[in-house]
Structure 1
């Protein structure tokens, strides 16, 4: 049986990650230079002809797929 403290710890970790990604998206979309926490390269918006879009760094350490539908 899973320990409740493990579940609490996991919930905090996923919540922190969600909010960090949300802040990256907000900052990049308003034009602020935002850097990848891993490699420190700037995050950029990538759009494709088939409607897929993402915010990512050059090395793809950070790669956030956007749902624009």
Structure 2
């Protein structure tokens, strides 16, 4: 399972997208960005989000979770 935390993109937001694939997470994150933050999803934004998708067992994920506490 992979995830993306909106706060990792610099937003003050607790939204987390989870899925088996990057495409699944990008769809969730794109809908969230449009609805919650009134953001237009550009190719640049999608690329940034893609770099912030982590496997839930990864060190990057643990660092991301530790930063919230």
Structure 1 length normalisation: TM-score?
Answer: 0.29
- Tell me which structure has the larger Cα radius of gyration: 1
Which structure would you say has the larger RCO, counting Cα contacts within 8 Å and 6 or more residues apart?
A: 2
Structure 2 length normalisation: TM-score?
Answer: 0.29
